[in-house]
């Protein structure tokens, strides 16, 4: 009662008669909000700790089992041994051929992908008109959405065949095939990040150069590309990370012989990568055996590579941030000026044989050719699958279970199985991921601890999906004795997308200006009121986009589920969480690699999977688009 | 403390990490007046302002000693509720920071978080607050449009309305016009003078003319110290301290 009187007196301002909303209801809310703050804070803390423990547990688990092989064989025999023969007597576990295979496949892939991506990025950022840009940019983003098993399918059915015929080889399964496929897969990553970097070079640089009489190509070459060089390096490193981590597509086309090509430049030699080895051998390994530990050793090497790639890109990004745009400004501009000085010197002008305009024409021609190659790759893959797949699709195909090892019948259980897996993965990852991100951004200061947590999350974010498959197989399927089951697949996929969800949610929250939070606090709002009513609503579209992209990724992944959840041909849907399940990517993988004939079913499955994943990505793009329009107003 | 003082600091010191930002500040802010805090950049005037509603709590490295009294009660006392302090002592920021919601929802936000749910009450608060902030005529037929569609000056008046809707006793303003054009600035200044009838306004400004135009009292700060505090007329016409005089006459800063 006392309190009500007090508030009534408080609001009795002159000139504000009868307008106060402060009645008996206000103090009630006041009493509650501290309790709510406390409870929500504790809950978020618990969930965040859980998620972080999971992250560190995965890393620790891999390290512990991987360490065994080093104890057994010695680190140099393991890393430097040239013989990988786990089934031999005695078995030998030298992973040098695998490391060399990974390096070779990735290096050649980068040699193909980087020039093509740069051409496409420059074209989109600097040359294309708005109309062409609106076609080329989404087309490249579309390439990123195609599941890796579909690339592998395309590679195995067509690409290796072409290579075999074109170069007159006994088999097209080779280093070259793997690199071409990885190049196509890395192109969208490199292109979009590099394009961002090019587009963010300030306009003044461009104008400054053009005002000196430089051609557009001279401006691009000597001002814009140097100005975006950090971003471009980050793009290349990211693309490289993607290529190193890829399992399915590589495994399907490289021939997988654990040999070092002889001579080392023989691109037609079969090779085997680190990830491919895990994909091939994981299913047949005995729990706790030397071979088992050797596979964990391979996973740890992959973790170390991821760590190195992350560290490198972080270094570059930090260098980019440390030199703010303004202090960087003279750099590229001065370079531009220096680059142009010779043009104005008469004796140089006379000696110059090729006119800058001719150079520009030639350069733009090359760039256009690069773009055409990229679009052609996309076109060939899509067309091939759509044309041949459309014939296979019928009501029966979509609604019936498979029969005769997938040569007849449909793929209904695989479609539903994929949905089950994705739904379960989201149920695991979304609450954990979003709560962890909220806790990290809103409830903790930037300390060495949160930086350590972020580094661990980033490490897992870049970790190849097959490593999650190995973890799920070893821990969930074998150790916890779940067996190959729906729940093991759901958890494995959930853990795989957890770092992505944490990071995208964190980014969306970080993008909300501090001033909004201050505005809310200044009105007397509590912490949770501020987070719930002011911070989360505008961050939601970003969080949803991240979640949808994770759905797409989870739906298209094969590597994490092939030894944890998937079964090839099942007439029935699982009746409990502890039964195995069919899934589209795995079905396509087995059809392609192990079932002769059944071409219709292969293309049909590829098309259904492609459409499913691409429509998920399309939704993500629409959400973002709508959000962008809504905020511009 | 006498009745006419609403806010008071006693020997207030503040550190950001190892760096001391405020030194032994003792000031008494009179009730229902406009008090201006002036001084060169980095002198601590905004920091002092942010002490009055404990916004510095949000900065992890900030540490204070001394006392801050609001109506005689220590706002850093254990039993004091920081959220209630901020209800009674509102704040308007340098850059307009409307929430990405509608105009209506921006103003209704404060009452809502303090427990008001009835629509007619909210409607009433929104209308009254917008009228008091001299924005009602300009937005009355588009209350449900996004606040971010308003001009900068309108956004700042919306932020003032949003602050008024919580029925504060004191409004702290941190260079509220520095992001606005002269016409919008004039409107806000008008508004500040009118608000002083019912509220206590403390305004930080780097614009001395503005301080002279709107305030009754002025504090001059320099390097974390309050050099002089007096009636505005006195500060501008006959300051006691030489430092103040040098600043007023534009010899530095």
CATH code of domain B5-248: 3.40.50.300
Write the DSSP string, A551-568.
HHHHHH--TTTTTTTB-S
Residue A492 confidence (pLDDT): 95
Q: Report the distance separating Cα A581 and Cα A486, nearest Å.
A: 6
Tokens of A224: 């814009």
Contact A516 B113 (CB under 8 A): no
**Residue A315 CB partners (closer than 8 Å, separation 6+):** none
Residue B215 confidence (pLDDT): 95
Counting every residue, how long is chain A?
A: 633
Residues 25-44 of B with CB under 8 A from A: none
Nearest to B155 by CA among B184, B194, B132, B183: B184
Does A332 or B86 have the greater pLDDT score?
A: B86
Residue A314 confidence (pLDDT): 80
Q: Report the distance separating Cα B131 and Cα B139, nearest Å.
A: 10
Residue A300 confidence (pLDDT): 94
Residue A17 confidence (pLDDT): 40
Phi, psi of A409 (to 5 degrees): 75, -155
Residue A131 confidence (pLDDT): 85
Search chain A and give the residue with CA nearest B131.
Answer: A16
Q: Report the distance separating Cα A121 and Cα A192, nearest Å.
A: 7
A-chain CB neighbours of B122 within 8 Å are: 21
Residue A519, pLDDT > 90, answer yes
Per mean pLDDT, which of A258-262, A452-456, A573-577, B239-243 is the most reliable? B239-243
- Mean pLDDT, all residues of chain B: 92
Tokens of A182: 């990885």
Q: Report the distance separating Cα A156 and Cα A166, nearest Å.
A: 15
Residue A12 confidence (pLDDT): 37
- Range scoring the smallest mean pLDDT among A15-29, A52-66, B145-159: A15-29
Residues 195-214 of B with CB under 8 A from A: 197-199
What are the contacts of A314-323 at 24+ separation with CB within 8 A?
A: A314/A458, A316/A230, A316/A233, A316/A234, A316/A237, A317/A230, A317/A234, A319/A230, A320/A230, A320/A231, A320/A234
What value does the mean pLDDT take over residues A382-400?
89
Q: Mind listing the pLDDT tens digit for each residue in A438-471? A: 999 999 887 888 888 888 888 888 889 999 999 9
- Mean pLDDT, all residues of chain A: 84
CA distance A548 to chain B (A): 24
Residue A481, pLDDT > 50, answer yes
Alpha helices in A439-558 (DSSP H): 448-462, 465-471, 486-510, 514-521, 527-529, 536-556
Search chain B and give the residue with CA nearest A443.
Answer: B58
Contact B42, B222 (CB under 8 A): no
Q: Mind listing the pLDDT tens digit for each residue in A72-127? A: 888 888 898 888 988 888 888 999 999 999 999 999 999 999 999 999 999 999 88
> How many whole angstroms from its chain centre is CA A112?
20
How do the residues of chain B divide into helix, strand and coil, expressed in percent and rounded to 5?
A: 40, 25, 35
State the pLDDT confidence band at A23, using cuts at 50, 70 and 90.
Answer: low
Residue B26, pLDDT > 70, answer yes
Per mean pLDDT, which of A29-38, A77-86, A104-113, A256-265 is the most reliable? A104-113
Nearest by CB to residue B91, choosing from A15, A16, A522, is: A522
B-chain CB neighbours of A14 within 8 Å are: 197-198
Mutation target to probe the A interface, by most A beta carbons within 10 A, among B49, B83, B102, B152 is B83
Residue A577 confidence (pLDDT): 86
What value does the mean pLDDT take over residues A551-576?
84
Does A108 or A351 have the greater pLDDT score?
A: A108
Q: Quote the ipTM score.
A: 0.91
Residue A20 confidence (pLDDT): 66
Q: Mind listing the pLDDT tens digit for each residue in B163-216? A: 999 999 999 999 999 888 999 999 999 999 999 988 999 999 988 999 999 999
What is the 3 state secondary structure string of B193-242? Answer: HHHCCCCEEEEECCCHHHHHHHCCEEEEEECCEEEEEEEHHHHHHCCCCH
Per mean pLDDT, which of A309-318, A387-396, A621-630 is the most reliable? A387-396
End-to-end, the C-alpha distance of chain A in Å comes to 48
Residue A357, pLDDT > 90, answer no
**CA A349, A352, A353, A357 torsion: positive or negative?**
negative
Contact B161, B155 (CB under 8 A): no
Residue A310, pLDDT > 50, answer yes
Q: Report the distance separating Cα B28 and Cα B44, nearest Å.
A: 17
Residue A378 confidence (pLDDT): 87
> Before A429, cis peptide (omega within 30)?
no
Q: Report the distance separating Cα A489 and Cα A210, nearest Å.
A: 56
B-chain CB neighbours of A33 within 8 Å are: 83, 113
Contact B198 A16 (CB under 8 A): yes
Residue A10, pLDDT > 60, answer no
> How many whole angstroms from its chain centre is CA A332?
31
CA distance A42 to chain B (A): 19
Residue A626 confidence (pLDDT): 73
Q: Does B4 touch chain A (CB under 8 A)?
A: no
């Amino acid at each position: 009662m006392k309190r009500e009187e007090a508030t009534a007196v408080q609001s009795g301002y002159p000139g504000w008669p009868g307008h106060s909303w402060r009645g008996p209801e206000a103090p009630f809310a006041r009493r509650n909000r501290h309790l709510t703050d406390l409870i929500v804070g504790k809950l978020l803390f618990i969930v965040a700790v859980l998620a972080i423990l999971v992250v560190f547990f995965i890393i620790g688990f891999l390290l512990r089992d991987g360490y065994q092989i080093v104890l057994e064989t010695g680190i140099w025999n393991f890393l430097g041994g040239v013989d990988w023969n786990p089934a031999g007597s005695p078995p030998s576990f030298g992973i040098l051929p695998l490391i060399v295979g990974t390096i070779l496949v990735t290096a050649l892939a980068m040699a193909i992908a980087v020039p093509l991506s740069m051409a496409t990025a420059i074209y989109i950022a600097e040359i294309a008109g708005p109309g062409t840009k609106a076609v080329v940019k989404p087309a490249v983003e579309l390439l990123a959405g195609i599941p890796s098993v579909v690339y592998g399918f395309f590679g195995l059915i067509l690409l290796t065949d072409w290579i075999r015929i074109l170069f007159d080889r006994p088999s097209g399964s080779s280093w070259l095939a793997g690199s071409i496929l990885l190049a196509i897969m890395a192109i969208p990553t490199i292109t979009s990040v590099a394009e961002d970097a090019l587009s963010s070079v300030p306009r003044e640089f461009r104008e400054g150069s053009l005002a000196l009489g430089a051609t557009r190509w001279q401006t691009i070459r000597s001002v814009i590309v140097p100005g975006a060089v950090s971003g471009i390096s980050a793009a290349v490193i990211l693309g490289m990370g993607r290529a190193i981590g890829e399992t399915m597509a590589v495994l399907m086309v490289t021939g997988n012989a654990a040999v070092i090509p002889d001579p080392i430049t023989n691109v037609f030699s079969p090779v085997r990568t680190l990830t491919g080895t895990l994909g091939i051998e994981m299913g047949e390994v005995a729990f706790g055996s030397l071979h088992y530990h050797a596979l964990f050793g391979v996973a740890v090497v992959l973790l170390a590579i991821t760590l190195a790639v992350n560290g490198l890109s972080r270094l570059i990004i930090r260098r980019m941030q440390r030199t703010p745009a303004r202090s960087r400004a003279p750099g590229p501009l001065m370079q531009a000026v220096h680059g142009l000085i010779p043009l104005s010197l008469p004796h140089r002008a006379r000696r110059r044989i090729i006119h800058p305009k001719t150079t520009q024409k030639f350069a733009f021609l090359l760039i256009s050719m690069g773009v055409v190659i990229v679009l052609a790759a996309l076109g060939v893959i899509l067309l091939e699958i759509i044309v041949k797949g459309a014939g296979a699709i019928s009501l029966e195909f979509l609604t019936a279970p498979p029969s005769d090892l997938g040569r007849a019948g449909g793929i209904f259980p695989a479609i539903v199985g994929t949905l089950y897996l994705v739904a379960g993965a989201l149920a695991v990852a979304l609450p954990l991921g979003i709560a962890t991100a909220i806790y990290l951004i809103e409830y903790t200061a930037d300390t060495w601890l949160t930086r350590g947590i972020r580094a661990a999350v980033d490490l897992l974010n870049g970790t190849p999906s097959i490593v999650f498959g190995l973890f799920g197989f070893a821990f969930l399927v074998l150790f916890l004795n779940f067996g190959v089951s729906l729940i093991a697949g759901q958890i494995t996929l959930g853990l795989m997308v957890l770092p992505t969800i944490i990071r995208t949610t964190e980014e969306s929250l970080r993008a909300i200006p501090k001033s909004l939070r201050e505005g809310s606090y200044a009105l007397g709002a509590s912490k949770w009121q501020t987070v719930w009513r002011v911070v989360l609503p505008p961050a939601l579209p970003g969080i949803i986009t991240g979640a949808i992209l994770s759905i797409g990724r989870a739906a298209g992944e094969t590597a994490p589920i092939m030894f944890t959840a998937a079964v090839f041909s099942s007439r029935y849907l699982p009746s409990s969480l502890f039964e195995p399940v069919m899934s589209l990517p795995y079905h396509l993988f087995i059809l392609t690699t192990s079932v002769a004939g059944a071409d219709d079913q292969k293309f049909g499955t590829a098309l259904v999977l492609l459409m499913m994943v691409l429509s998920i990505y399309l939704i993500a793009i629409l959400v973002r688009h709508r959000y962008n329009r809504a905020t511009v107003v | 403390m006498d009745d006419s003082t609403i806010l008071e600091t006693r020997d207030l010191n503040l550190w950001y990490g190892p760096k001391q930002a405020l030194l032994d500040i003792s000031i008494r802010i009179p009730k229902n007046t406009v008090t201006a805090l002036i001084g060169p950049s980095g002198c601590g005037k905004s920091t002092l302002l942010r002490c009055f509603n404990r916004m510095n709590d949000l900065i992890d490295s900030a540490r204070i000693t001394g006392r801050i009294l609001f109506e005689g009660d220590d706002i850093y006392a254990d039993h004091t509720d920081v959220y209630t302090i901020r209800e009674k002592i509102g704040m308007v920021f340098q850059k307009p920071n409307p929430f990405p919601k509608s105009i209506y929802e921006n103003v209704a936000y404060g009452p809502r978080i303090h427990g008001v749910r009835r629509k007619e009450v909210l409607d009433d608060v929104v209308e009254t607050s917008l009228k008091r902030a001299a924005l009602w005529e300009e937005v009355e037929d588009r209350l449900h449009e996004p606040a971010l569609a308003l001009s900068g000056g309108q956004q700042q008046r919306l932020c003032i309305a949003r602050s008024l809707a919580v029925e504060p006793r004191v409004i702290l303003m941190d260079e509220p016009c520095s992001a606005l054009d002269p016409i919008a600035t004039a409107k806000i200044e008008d508004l500040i003078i009118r608000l002083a009838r019912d509220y206590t306004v403390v305004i930080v400004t780097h614009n001395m003319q503005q301080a002279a135009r709107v305030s009754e009292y002025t504090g001059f700060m320099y390097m974390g110290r309050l050099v002089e505090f007096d009636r505005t007329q006195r500060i501008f016409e006959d300051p006691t301290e030489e430092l103040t005089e040098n600043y007023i006459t534009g010899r530095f800063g």
